[in-house]
Amino acid sequence: MNIGEIAKRAGVSRSTVSYALSGKRSVSEETRRKIQQVIDELGYRPNASARALANGRTSTIGLVFPPAGNHYTGMQLDFIGSVVEAAAAYDYDVLLSPSGVDSDRSFQRLLAERRVDGAILMEIRLQDDRVDHLGEANFPAVCIGRTASSDGDWWVGLDHTALVAACVHHLADLGHRRIAFVNRPEHLLRAGYESAHRGLDGFTKAAAERGLTTRTYCCGDDAPSGQTCLERILHDDPATTALVTLNEAALGGLYRGLSVAGRHVPRDFSVTGVVAGRWAETVTPQLTAADVPAEQMGRLAVELLVERLDHPDATPRHHLLAPPISLRASTGPAHAGTDLRSGSDD
Amino acid sequence: MNIGEIAKRAGVSRSTVSYALSGKRSVSEETRRKIQQVIDELGYRPNASARALANGRTSTIGLVFPPAGNHYTGMQLDFIGSVVEAAAAYDYDVLLSPSGVDSDRSFQRLLAERRVDGAILMEIRLQDDRVDHLGEANFPAVCIGRTASSDGDWWVGLDHTALVAACVHHLADLGHRRIAFVNRPEHLLRAGYESAHRGLDGFTKAAAERGLTTRTYCCGDDAPSGQTCLERILHDDPATTALVTLNEAALGGLYRGLSVAGRHVPRDFSVTGVVAGRWAETVTPQLTAADVPAEQMGRLAVELLVERLDHPDATPRHHLLAPPISLRASTGPAHAGTDLRSGSDD
DNA sequence: CTCCTTCGTCGAACCGGTTCGAACACGAGC
DNA sequence: GCTCGTGTTCGAACCGGTTCGACGAAGGAG
């Protein structure tokens, strides 16, 4: 059931079948019909490997995602789903590549063995070997997040600095004076994860601007760590009345910690941060947060990559997203503050 | 940078390079060293498409997963991660294939175009076209879950009947007499989703065995649906004191509904079900549940598939898993029951 | 009635690997 | 000295597509 078989049964040559399918040269209506009929009868579909070998395109994009050792967050899941869906719309398949401990191995598989036409990289670091590597090779890639020197890169990212700052201002407007920042795990921060660093920056600067008293914490990507982290926060400064978090997976634990400590949200304590909307809604009270637009990001990343694949010499493009804060139910006025400034207008 | 180039620079023929790499025929130590040296210098890696074309194996497995329109659950995420990791250990890549509305299209891509050597199918239905189709074609596949007639199939599944029954018995032992079952969304039930059906079966039978008063509900895969569902439960029968759920994504909403209704968990109301452990720990109080061993399932599925690929004529194998209930904090004795039977021993 | 296009088709080469059969050199056995 | 087996290497065919150059037939212009 290969192209030769189709050609034989249709009484034409292999090349004619190929042209009939691709439309790259004209084929008479009659032979086209005959060929199509044979194809339908036999249910023929051209072999992907052979096609890839012949024309140098695999019609596959690689999605380089964090190792399973780390826990995945809901945002990542939504993102993967939307990438697959968007890629399918452009007739691309998606190959998953774990960028684990020996990330090199699977990375080499993807690139050097030409399994994919291009790649989307998740969990970017400020200094990222992979990005440098791909840049040198001029390999078509799109980053989710941006490195410290992202000028020549294609990327779609979240403006964590601005988002976290917006959270801080929101809390300050509500009169909170002593707030904590719950970041991603320490090893990710040390490894230079972009979101962790820029988020921390945004927090520090905005808090300084508003003259707030702050503490910052790293926290494991799971509920128990969140609970422990919250205990530390209240232990270190019992007067803390609010927190900002980037750590979606720890959210449930933070809430539990508050509940165990007898702090009612939002009456006694406000919580906000940067979290995918769907997950902000799973906690009670629902989280007031900057909703990570995971689906949009996946779609945009694929669009950029396809554009780059179609136009190899296009100038680098990017999208920096800064979704607004969705007001839900987890923040409220600081009621026992010493220096209560009135909130803006809600 | 193809095999011919390597051969030229090493002063041997292409076939000798191939044999040096594959080890399928002996090559003298001297030429092997020479070839290896050239390869290292140039950083050569054989082209995956060409290799796939020549030897008929893509070293890729397909993961057919539910469409993004449905919300993903945490369990699916863990599962995907473990599949990728396990596949990498066997030197396989993982190609994602959405089985969406026109599942046929991407399905055809995978199989007819020979993009993958085998496939893992998620979200199996009791009557599943895809499985029938693959079975007829004798295509190497492993199902996550089992169809109604799974005799000739390879699968790894959860014994939802037994797990849900165990939940019911656990509640009955605690003295609960009026309990509700929160299932997956109605369209999935109608479509014949295995877990939804077998779970419901297990619930119905165990409840009948224990003489319980029950109601069953379908519930959307998101928190707001969970909240609405819980309102309906208490509206339909305010004397309900416990529920069992399969719906991981609705869990947060169910909890919120209880909190809004002023029912304290576990004092006034017990909650249990079948949920991935990591997600059972994000809610407060932590969920007593049969922990879905998503990682183990992913690993086992890959192992089965690799075995099937290596031994095309092996007899079908499967794994039916029934993890024990992890006692956490969401269930307790029914305190206001009319017919309170004492719990077993805790 | 020629000459020149245009259309439709074919054969051959190519993509980059794998694999089979054969050839050659060499040493052992008779 | 001749035969035979073994170790090493090469050339050619093949996997299943795509694409280029050429060629014959049909049709229009001169």
d(CA B248, CA B158): 15
In-domain check, residue A343: no
A336 pLDDT more than 60: no
Structural tokens at position B82: 């473990």
Lowest mean pLDDT among A107-116, A249-258, B116-125, B188-197: A107-116
In-domain check, residue B236: yes
Q: Do A81 and B58 touch (CB under 8 A)?
A: no
A319: left (phi over 0), alpha (psi -120 to 50) or beta: beta
Asked if strand D comes closer than 7 Å to A282 Cβ, the answer is no
In this structure, the answer to whether residues B67 and B14 fall within a common structural domain is no
In this structure, the answer to whether residues A40 and A81 fall within a common structural domain is no
With bands split at pLDDT 50, 70 and 90, how would you rate the model's confidence at A133?
A: confident
In this structure, the answer to whether residues B190 and B277 fall within a common structural domain is yes
Dihedral (CA of B231, B237, B240, B243) sign: negative
Structural tokens at position B181: 């079952």
Q: Which of B52, B71, B76 sits opposite A49 (nearest CB)?
A: B52
| Nucleotide nearest the Cα atom of B24 (by C1') | C19
Dihedral (CA of B100, B105, B111, B116) sign: negative
Closest of A51, A47, A9, A11 to residue A28, by C-alpha:
A11
In this structure, the answer to whether residues A256 and A200 fall within a common structural domain is yes
Note every long-range contact of A85-91, with CB atoms under 8 Å and residues 24 or more positions apart, other chains counting. Answer: A85/A298, A85/A299, A85/B67, A85/B68, A85/B98, A85/B100, A86/A298, A86/A299, A86/A301, A86/A302, A86/A303, A87/A61, A87/A302, A88/B98, A88/B100, A88/B106, A90/A302, A90/A306, A91/A59
Q: Which amino acid, B227?
A: Q
Q: Do B114 and A47 touch (CB under 8 A)?
A: yes
With bands split at pLDDT 50, 70 and 90, how would you rate the model's confidence at A129?
A: confident
SS3 B222: coil
The percentage of residues in chain A with a pLDDT greater than 90, rounded to a whole number, is 81
Q: Do B85 and A106 touch (CB under 8 A)?
A: no
Give pLDDT, residue A180.
98
Give, in order, the Cα–Cα distances in Å from A206 to each of A181, A202, B232, B285: 12, 6, 44, 35
In this structure, the answer to whether residues B267 and B197 fall within a common structural domain is yes
d(CA B137, CA B135): 5
| Residue A123 · residue A193 · CB < 8 Å | yes
CATH code, A192: 3.40.50.2300
Report the mean per-residue pLDDT for chain A: 92
Q: Which amino acid, B265?
A: V
A343 pLDDT more than 70: no
Lowest mean pLDDT among A76-85, A220-229, A253-262: A76-85
CATH code, A36: 1.10.260.40
Asked if strand C comes closer than 7 Å to B39 Cβ, the answer is no
SS3 string, A162-189, reads HHHHHHHHHHHHCCCCEEEEEECCHHHH
A58 pLDDT more than 80: yes
With bands split at pLDDT 50, 70 and 90, how would you rate the model's confidence at A77?
A: confident
Q: Which of A50, A77, A252 sits opposite B77 (nearest CB)?
A: A77
In this structure, the answer to whether residues B285 and B298 fall within a common structural domain is no
Number of domains composing chain B: 3
In-domain check, residue B326: no
In-domain check, residue B90: yes
Asked if strand C comes closer than 7 Å to A11 Cβ, the answer is yes
Residue nearest to nucleotide D15 (CA to C1'): B54
Asked if strand C comes closer than 7 Å to B7 Cβ, the answer is no
Q: Do A49 and B114 touch (CB under 8 A)?
A: yes
Distance (Å) from the C-alpha of residue A65 to the closest C-alpha of chain B?
A: 9
Q: Which amino acid, B73?
A: T
Residues of B in contact with A80 (CB under 8 A): 80, 96
Domain holding A40, by residue range, is 3-46
In this structure, the answer to whether residues B166 and B285 fall within a common structural domain is yes
Residue nearest to nucleotide C14 (CA to C1'): A54
Q: Do B108 and A224 touch (CB under 8 A)?
A: no
Closest of B299, B302, B297 to residue B156, by C-alpha:
B297
Q: Do A223 and B84 touch (CB under 8 A)?
A: no
| Nucleotide nearest the Cα atom of A4 (by C1') | D16
d(CA B294, CA B287): 17
* Mean pLDDT, residues A113-123 taken together: 95
Beta bridge partners of A5: none
Beta bridge partners of A63: A96, A120
Give pLDDT, residue B123.
87
Asked if strand C comes closer than 7 Å to B280 Cβ, the answer is no
Dihedral (CA of A16, A19, A21, A23) sign: negative
Judge if the upstream peptide bond of residue A323 is cis by omega within 30 degrees of 0: no
Distant-in-sequence, close-in-space partners of A89: CB < 8 Å, separation ≥ 6: none
Q: What does each of the 346 residues of chain B score in pLDDT, given as a tens digit?
A: 999 999 999 999 999 999 999 999 999 999 999 999 999 999 999 999 999 999 999 999 999 987 655 666 777 888 988 999 999 999 999 999 887 656 677 777 888 999 999 999 998 999 988 899 899 889 999 999 999 998 889 999 999 999 999 999 999 999 999 999 999 999 999 999 999 999 999 999 999 999 999 999 999 999 999 999 999 999 999 999 999 999 999 999 999 999 999 999 999 999 999 999 888 999 999 999 999 999 999 999 999 999 999 999 999 999 999 999 999 999 999 975 444 344 344 4
d(CA B150, CA B154): 8
A189 pLDDT more than 90: yes
With bands split at pLDDT 50, 70 and 90, how would you rate the model's confidence at A76?
A: confident
In-domain check, residue B334: no
| Nucleotide nearest the Cα atom of B19 (by C1') | C18
Judge if the upstream peptide bond of residue A140 is cis by omega within 30 degrees of 0: no
Residues of B in contact with A249 (CB under 8 A): 282
Asked if strand C comes closer than 7 Å to B53 Cβ, the answer is yes
Give pLDDT, residue B342.
40
Distant-in-sequence, close-in-space partners of B10: CB < 8 Å, separation ≥ 6: B17, B31, B34, B35, B37, B38
In this structure, the answer to whether residues A7 and A41 fall within a common structural domain is yes
Residues of B in contact with A43 (CB under 8 A): 112
- Please classify residue A189 by burial: count the beta carbons closer than 10 Å to its beta carbon, then call 0-12 exposed, 13-18 middle and 19+ buried: middle
Residue with tokens 């295995």: B194
With bands split at pLDDT 50, 70 and 90, how would you rate the model's confidence at A101?
A: low
- Please classify residue B45 by burial: count the beta carbons closer than 10 Å to its beta carbon, then call 0-12 exposed, 13-18 middle and 19+ buried: middle
Residues of A in contact with B97 (CB under 8 A): 93
Distant-in-sequence, close-in-space partners of B334: CB < 8 Å, separation ≥ 6: B174, B175, B176, B177, B241, B242, B270, B340
In this structure, the answer to whether residues A214 and A298 fall within a common structural domain is no
Q: Do A84 and B96 touch (CB under 8 A)?
A: yes
| Residue A336 · residue A241 · CB < 8 Å | yes
Backbone angles phi, psi at B263, to 5 degrees: -95, 125
With bands split at pLDDT 50, 70 and 90, how would you rate the model's confidence at A61?
A: very high
- What b/e string do you get for B116-128 counting C-beta neighbours within 10 Å, with b at 16 or more? bbbbbbbbbbbeb
| Residue B71 · residue B253 · CB < 8 Å | no
**Tell me, in Å, how far CA of B16 is from C1' of D14?**
17
- Closest-CA residue of A relative to B79 is A68
In this structure, the answer to whether residues B190 and B281 fall within a common structural domain is yes
In-domain check, residue A35: yes
- Residue range A196-234, pLDDT digits in tens: 999 999 999 999 999 999 999 999 999 999 999 999 999
DSSP string, B58-116: -SEEEEEE--TTSPP-HHHHHHHHHHHHHHHHTT-EEEEEE--TTHHHHHHHHHHTT--
Residues of A in contact with B48 (CB under 8 A): 109, 113-115
SS3 A214: strand
- Residue range A276-322, pLDDT digits in tens: 988 899 999 999 999 999 999 999 999 999 999 999 999 999 999 99
d(CA A115, CA B65): 21
d(CA A94, CA A88): 8
- What b/e string do you get for B134-156 counting C-beta neighbours within 10 Å, with b at 16 or more? bbeeeebbbbbbbbeebeebbbb
Give pLDDT, residue A70.
61
Give pLDDT, residue B70.
60
A118 pLDDT more than 70: yes
Using a 7 Å cut-off to protein CB atoms, list the covered nucleotides of chain D.
7-21
Beta bridge partners of A244: A181, A272
In this structure, the answer to whether residues A278 and A252 fall within a common structural domain is yes
In this structure, the answer to whether residues B285 and B306 fall within a common structural domain is no
| Residue A278 · residue A257 · CB < 8 Å | no
* Mean pLDDT, residues A123-128 taken together: 91
Residues of A in contact with B74 (CB under 8 A): 74, 77
A73 pLDDT more than 90: no
Residues of A in contact with B136 (CB under 8 A): none
In-domain check, residue A214: yes
In-domain check, residue A334: no
Q: Which of A48, A98, A114 sits opposite B114 (nearest CB)?
A: A48
With bands split at pLDDT 50, 70 and 90, how would you rate the model's confidence at A344?
A: very low
Give pLDDT, residue A341.
40
